[in-house]
Amino acid sequence: MSQKKIIHVNAFNMNSVGHIHHGMWTHPRDQSHQYNTLDYWINLAKILERGLFDGIFIADIIGYYDVYQGNIDLTLRESIQTPVNDPWLLVSAMAAVTKHLGFGVTATISAETPYTFARKISTLDQLTNGRIGWNIVTGYVDSGARGLGQDGLADHDQRYDRADDFLELSYKLWEGSWEDDAVIADRARRIYTDPAKVHSITHDGPYYRSRGYHMSEPSPQRTPLLFQAGSSGRGQRFAGQHAEGIFINASDPATARASAKKIRQAVADAGRDPHDVKIFVGVAVIPGHTEKEAQEKHAEYLHYASAEGGLAHFSASTGIDFSRYGLDEAIEYGTSNSIQSATQVAQQNQMTRRKLLEQHKLGGRYNTIVGDAAQVADKLEQWIDEGDIDGFNLTRIVVPETYEDFIDIVVPELQNRGRYRTSYTEGALRNKFFGAGNRLPASHGAARWRQRDGSDTSSDQPTHIAA
């Protein structure tokens, strides 16, 4: 590292009571049960902007977890991401009380229609002056697919094929329909929009078709900042083509480094600069003014955590009902994408339900960093430098205490080390992350749908790009 990387931090959240650290809603200082009030989100947004966070990243799930014990009883009792409300409807209230905070919001391909989804994004990107990111999810649980009227989730790779098609149509609407100078708003000449600068798009893809004009005028970013979390081979190829922010899970910096290498290669394979993506690791931080205070806080949190809630969540992630195993019975498991390696890991560690419960008591696969400001900063720097990543999705344990502690204890230390911004960069969310303007770079696939000469592109072919 010739120069120290600035550490990016998103607040990781969800429009629900329980998110990652299950059971914590029972903590007396936790406010997550107020998730369905505007005051809760407005207060959070103000706190995060005070702490110069890059953004708030709001996860989502269409459906619910019904694997553990074969029902949703524990899901409901522990509020494990159920009930879960629509995340997009929170944005304008938070945007109204902030100026720079970004909003990385999850939308599931199978639950959206491209023509209206593109308008949703353009609307919010306009209202927020370009602060919108989209976390692209292809679908996660069968229960959601059944709610939407399907028999179940489509095949994994097919979901990505559909997502590719959804993105291509969206790019045409965002990048290709309205030229930058289409809106004149000239009162004297009585021209709001110059019709010569608005173009009809045509799309006949394998999953979607559309013809017509985008309903919204161009927003600051046009295409929102694109986040994704695919870890499979197909998922990484998708991320390489589309994503600008990528979330990975890693047990340690070395594992993160291996993932980051694969991701940056996938980005390069798609003809993009390998550093046109920022890579984020999910992390839980429990800081104290002293190490002792941090340790005591950690111990206090554990008193409220629900190990069974964490395990039920993990059951949903893996598709395995761990409740069927005896406490000390050996368990072989793996996720659908990496059965071999996960089984290997499980066997190496002689996994049992007792051990899984212990692992998932406070955060599961998310690393938990406990310590004073210097200790936490050391760890975060280690992740960034050894892991070749760019930042963190900071989970919430007790809301808003987790964020306030990070801001009051950790941020000043990181700033002293030259590792954290001391003020926001101007411009849209994309410019804040990459410093190269508000729009996607020309090397991104979406750019080929841009209008070059103002001609109507009512065809399926990309506009000719001069060499």
> Interface residues for a copy of itself in 300-329 (CB under 8 A)?
306
Using the rule CB under 8 A, give the single segment among 4-12, 84-92, 242-250, 399-407 that binds a copy of itself: 84-92
Q: Over the range 426-455, which residues count as b (16 or more CB within 10 Å of their CB) and which as e?
A: ebbbbbbbbeeebbbeeebbbbbbbbeeee
Q: Considering the rule CB under 8 A, would residue 210 count as an interface residue with a copy of itself? A: yes
CB of 97 to a copy of itself, least distance (A): 8
Cβ pair 406, 297 in contact under 8 A: no
| Only segment of 153-161, 214-222, 282-290, 420-428 that touches a copy of itself (CB under 8 A) | 214-222
Stretch that binds a copy of itself, among 183-191, 229-237, 365-373, 405-413 (CB under 8 A): 183-191
User: Do the beta carbons of residue 64 and residue 81 sit within 8 Å?
Assistant: yes
Question: Taking Cα atoms as reference points, which of 107, 104, 7 lies closest to residue 57?
Answer: 104
Options 190-198, 244-252, 314-322, 438-446: segment touching a copy of itself (CB under 8 A): 190-198
* Inter-residue contact 109 to 60 (CB < 8 Å): no
Q: Nearest approach, Cβ of 168 to a copy of itself (angstroms)?
A: 14
Which of 81, 143, 82, 139 minimizes the C-alpha distance to 364? Answer: 81
Q: Which stretch binds a copy of itself (CB under 8 A): 87-95, 236-244, 396-404, 456-464?
A: 87-95
Phi (first) and psi of residue 451, to 5 degrees: -70, 130
Give yes or no for residue 162 binding a copy of itself (CB under 8 A).
no
Binding of a copy of itself by 72 (CB under 8 A): yes
Neighbour count for residue 146 (Cβ, 10 Å): 14
Size of the site for a copy of itself (CB under 8 A): 77
Binding of a copy of itself by 143 (CB under 8 A): yes
- Among positions 36, 349, 350, 425, the unique one binding a copy of itself when judged by CB under 8 A: 36
Choose, by CB under 8 A, the member of 213, 233, 275, 290 that binds a copy of itself.
213
Q: How far is the CB of 109 from a copy of itself (least distance, A)?
A: 12
Residue 154 as a binder of a copy of itself (CB under 8 A): the answer is: no
268 touches a copy of itself (CB under 8 A): no
Number of neighbours of residue 181 by Cβ within 10 angstroms: 10
When binding is defined by CB under 8 A, the residue of 4, 29, 70, 96 that contacts a copy of itself is: 96
Q: Are strands 367-372 and 391-394 parallel, antiparallel or unpaired?
A: unpaired
Q: Which is nearer to a copy of itself, 205 or 445 (CB)?
A: 205
Amino acid 43 reads N
Report the alpha-carbon distance of residue 452 to residue 443 in Å, rounded.
15
Residue 352, SS3 per DSSP = strand
What would the x/- binding string for a copy of itself be over residues 404 to 433, using CB under 8 A? ------------------------------
Which helix (H) or strand (E) covers residue 210, if one does?
A: strand 209-212
Q: Which window, 32-40, 46-54, 244-252, 448-456, contacts a copy of itself (CB under 8 A)?
A: 32-40
Whole-angstrom distance, CA of residue 253 vs CA of residue 258: 9
